[in-house]
Structure 1
Amino acid sequence: MVGSAACPFCAIVTGDDSIARVVYRGPEITAFFPLEPATQGHTLVVPNRHVSDLTDLTPAEIGDLGKAALRIARAIRVGLSPDGLNLIQSTGAAATQTVPHVHFHLVPRWSDDRMTLRWPTGAAEDDPAINQTLATIQSALLQETDAVSTEDRRQHLSFIQAVITRMSQASSSSKSWLLPIVTATYGYAVTGKSILVALLGCLAVLVFGLLDANYLKQERAFRRLYDEVAAGSPIPAFSMNPTLASPEGSGSNYWPDWPDVRSWAVAPVYGPLLLSGLGLVIWLACR
């Protein structure tokens, strides 16, 4: 395999080939004449990044190549007025690729030019084989995820971050609501010597603790989703289903898990409050 250091097209892209006839040089794409043009105006369009296989191009690079090829094709049509034009791309030695750097040929055509392109006569497969090939490609196509633009991915991440922020705010609110409830119930239990009120305070701690642990669980799930989307994992665009990024797979479980309960944001807060309430109940019962 030829690396970028030894690639003749990379030398043209970087300007190290002094004899190259460059048609266009941009931040992402370069176009130039080959050493031996097949026809007048024959132009190669290449990505500036060294990529040997067509399928290794990014969606952005494909878009840049398409726009550059269209722009140059229009310039060829205006400047040379050809009778037609071939757009040719070859990947792999079996497809006659000789330079392992993705490139597109723009070949202006005239009815009396020397260029020859001959398609073989007859079908390569019989009808059953063609149908099987069709099904195979369609099946593989369904497994491909739709290309997501950078802006779409950024917006998707923004939506997920909004949910994470909301879960964090809900967790903070649960603690804020619980403190006056605990103060009131425990305080009244002491002054009124009421075990029932103390038990109500303990129940409030349990309920708010479970809610807070569940908020933490959901926040963690959406943080995993955020990481997966940011990494470019095959998650449907704008999906807000955190189970897609869950190691356990699909399915929803709204009860907090043990790691959520014993986390620093839950156990150190609700544990002492619950123990204080239970201690208060025992103290009142022993009086």
Structure 2
Amino acid sequence: MAVNPASCPFCEIIAGGDADARVVHRNEKVTAFFPLQPATRGHTLVVPNRHVADLTNLTVAESRDLGEAVHRIARAVRSALSPDGLNVIQSTGAAATQTVPHVHFHVVPRWSSDRMILRWPQGAAEDDAAQDMTLLAIREVLPPGAARVSAEDRRQHLSFIQAVITRMSQASSSSKSWLLPIVTLAYGYAITSKSPMVALLGCLAVLVFGVLDANYLKQERAFRKLYDEVASGRPIPAFSMNPALASPVGARANYWPDKPDLRSWAVAPVYVPLTLAGLSIAAWLFYR
């Protein structure tokens, strides 16, 4: 089901690249539009703006945003068209008839005389004993629901997360403070002793501190995202300090800074010039 978002027709509509798309609603989180061939009058698709192929890979926040948007669209469709009923359909995987690998919900207005056909098979798929085993299997892996927390508990939780964010910010500032005298001494000594190797050692120090600083930034961003989840009332376990809970289900842990972290204004404009300065000094000393 993997697909390049650049080739996803839904992503193109979300980005405004399809002039023919009939967009019902769009905000920073979700987009709703008519499909190319509506099954009934008012048939609307509701999709997350982030490209996600599988329903289970949505974040908790995205799931809530989609649920709210589906409810809002369903109310609007019912108010505008007065259908006899509504179907809300979501398919994940080819076996479930998903044809576009971007999570989407169908809001389908229904009339007794429409051409839509939706039939459930006759009879149960499993006998009673098999259903009991299936029930136990699902219950064993079902994640626990988030406990209901008071407003005071939420404020305390937010203060804990904010303390970590502040600590990451201070660590980033400290890394720059430590690096500057090290680089000054290394580059100065390289020039006075005419040693290009010392200049290269200074460049190595810049790279090490740069990666460390970028990782501080990555952790700060992760905890800021967790802060937003808790502040908005998302179902995060009480007092959890795990920022992975604000990431898509199944997301792989990555302990190295990502490209956006390395390119950040707090990292690249500081460490790239220092690295180039060291390389220039080393080249000048080597070829002089």
TM (norm. structure 2) is: 0.54
Structure 2 residue identity aligned to 1:146: A
Counterpart of 2:125, as a letter, is A
The corresponding residue for 1:29 is 30
Which structure 2 residues correspond to residues 49-128 of structure 1 after superposition, within 5 A? Answer: 49-128=50-129
Whole-angstrom distance in 2 between the partners of 1:119 and 1:32: 27
- How far off is 1:148 after superposition? 9.6
Structure 2 residue 5 is the aligned partner of structure 1 residue 7: no
The structure-2 alpha-carbon separation of the partners of 1:95 and 1:26, relative to structure 1 and needing over 3 Å to count, comes to same
Instruction: Quickly say closer, same or farther: Cα 1:3–1:89, change in 2 above 3 A.
Output: same
Q: Distance in 1 between matches of 2:130 and 2:117?
A: 29
Aligned length: 174
Q: 1:83-118 deviations in whole A, cap 9, x for unaligned? A: 000000000001000000000000000001000000
Higher RCO (CA < 8 A, seq sep 6+): 2
Q: Identity across aligned pairs (percent)?
A: 68
Tell me if structure 1 keeps the 8 A contact 2:157–2:239: yes
| Cα deviation code 1:8-34 (max 9, x no counterpart) | 000000000111111111111100000
Structure 2 CA distance for partners of 1:153 and 1:96, relative to 1, 3 Å: farther
SS of equivalent to 1:100: coil
Query: What residue identity is the alignment partner of 2:132?
Result: N
2: CA distance between counterparts of 1:128 and 1:43?
40
Distance 2:31 2:98 in 1: 18
Q: Spell out the pairing of 1:1-287 with structure 2 (5 A cutoff).
A: 1-141=2-142, 143-144=143-144, 146=146, 155-156=156-157, 158-159=159-160, 230=223, 236-238=237-239
DSSP-derived class of the 1:9 partner: helix
Deviation at 1:159, TM superposition (A): 4.2
Once the two structures are TM-superposed, the CA of residue 62 in structure 1 deviates from its matched residue by 1.1
**Quick check: which has more Rg, 1 or 2?**
1
Give the letter aligned to residue 31 of structure 1. A
| Distance in 2 separating the partners of 1:106 and 1:95 | 17
Question: Which TM-score applies when normalising by structure 1?
Answer: 0.54
Alpha-carbon distance in structure 2 between the residues aligned to 1:39 and 1:69? 17
User: Match of 1:244?
Assistant: none
Shift of 1:238: 2.4
Secondary structure of the structure 2 residue equivalent to 1:30: strand
Alignment root-mean-square deviation, CA: 3.2
The 3-state SS of whatever aligns with 2:24 is strand
Gaps of 5+ in 1: 163-225, 241-287
